[in-house]
Amino acid sequence: MSDCIFCKIIRKEIPARIIYEDDEVLAFDDIRPQAPVHTLIIPRKHLASLKEIGQEEASLLGRILIRAAEIARLKGIDHSGYRVVVNTGPDSGQEVFHIHFHVLGGRRLGWPPG
């Protein structure tokens, strides 16, 4: 997707603080952090949102969640706790239509979310 901002980060056309990457996913810090730790994990494959996900993506999504746990360990929030969020569609406030998993932590997170 030529005009997708996260695809541009994958292609290194725009900078990001990348903290992990492999042949399948990329993780980078959110540009507007909502918590002391706020990292986004994205698949290299452009998928717009959870709404577009099918059975063929089941193992990819599973591996992304495992990566989320690894990133939480890397960031030192695995013991204090964290939240993994996938905003989907208008009511969630989804802004970027390349599926991404927010990993948030480093402070007490409110519930219910705003």
Peptide bond into 112 cis (omega under 30): yes
Binding test (CB under 5 A) with Zn ion, winner from 67, 75, 98, 102? 98
Is 102 catalytic? The answer is no
Per CB under 6 A, contacts with ligand AMP among 50-89 are 87
**3-state SS, residue 90:** helix
Binding test (CB under 6 A) with ligand AMP, winner from 54, 93, 110, 112? 93
String of DSSP letters for 10-65: HTTSS---EEEE-SSEEEEE-SS-SSSEEEEEEESS----GGG--GGGHHHHHHHH
- 1 binds Zn ion, rule: CB under 5 A: yes
Minimum CB distance to Zn ion, residue 1 (Å): 4
Indicate the residue among 28 and 72 with the shorter CB distance to ligand AMP. 28
Minimum CB distance to Zn ion, residue 53 (Å): 14
